[in-house]
Amino acid sequence: MGAHDVVFLVDVDNTLLDNDAVRDDVRAAFVAAYGEERAGRYWTIQERRFVELEYRDYLGAVQEWWEEERRDSRLVGAARILLDYPFAERVYPGALEVLAHLRTLGPTAVVTDGEAVFQPHKVARSGIWKAVAGNVLVYVHKELSLDDVERRYPAGRYVFVDDKLRILTAVKAFWGARVTTVLPLQGQFATDPEVAASHPAADVTTDGIAELIRLEL
């Protein structure tokens, strides 16, 4: 692939999709199905696995939970709650239209953290996969994989949209003046004042992803 003038790279969780609301919905569904104490054990397992694996392993945590609970057949339904979740209903208003707009300006890809099963499933069921014509990259740590991103999408300049200043800071350190970082103020990380105080500001800050519909090169 030859180098493009500009490539747009867009995060998923709390950038295109309200992942905080997804987690709240799933928590409520688990409590309704299994009770607060039992459901709490699932989230304890998931948090421990996140520390160990450094990514959210929703389905792997179900597997471990099921085994710890002596393979209680009722817990198998937890995977269905996750897999059948209506992710399309949690896409931020205007997000898919923004992706369509960006694609008129240059190649546009989704770059997201996660594992190789549930995260792509989420991207597909939300409609985001189709919106970027399958240009989806999933990494355990995308900020450590920017060389691979550039190999797949070579460009003279990048626009990187993410809700985490930590990620945008790493992106700026890697690409320097070749990247414009964009922070939509959505989700728990983007709106945390302690996070904002501990990292440089993004090049561009917006109230939400929908504002990028007005983006002009």
CA distance 12 to 114: 10
For domain 4-17+91-214, give the fold: Rossmann fold (3.40.50)
Per-10-residue mean pLDDT, the chain, length 217: 87 96 96 95 94 90 92 89 97 97 96 95 98 97 96 97 96 97 92 85 95 85
Query: Looking at residue 190, what is its pLDDT?
Result: 84
User: What is the bridge-based pairing of β-strands 155-161 and 136-139?
Assistant: unpaired
Q: What is the dihedral of CA 95, 101, 103, 109, to 10 degrees?
A: -20
Residue pair 68/38 in contact (Cβ under 8 Å)? The answer is: no
What tokens appear for 28 in the block?
Answer: 């409520």
What tokens appear for 201 in the block?
Answer: 């500001």
Query: Looking at residue 1, what is its pLDDT?
Result: 54
pTM for the full predicted model: 0.93
Q: Give the domain ranges of the chain.
A: 4-17+91-214, 20-87
What is the dotted CATH code of the domain comprising 20-87?
Answer: 1.10.286.50
Buried b or exposed e, range 89-115, using 16+ CB within 10 angstroms = ebbbebbbebbebbbeebbbbbbbbbb
Cβ partners under 8 Å of residue 31, min gap 6: 39
CA torsion through residues 189, 194, 198, 204, sign: positive
Strand intervals (E) in 53-200: 108-113, 136-139, 155-161, 179-184
Residue pair 187/95 in contact (Cβ under 8 Å)? The answer is: no
Tracing tokens 């709650």 back to the chain, one arrives at 81
CA distance 58 to 6: 34
Nearest-10 crossing angle of helices 58-68, 36-53: 120
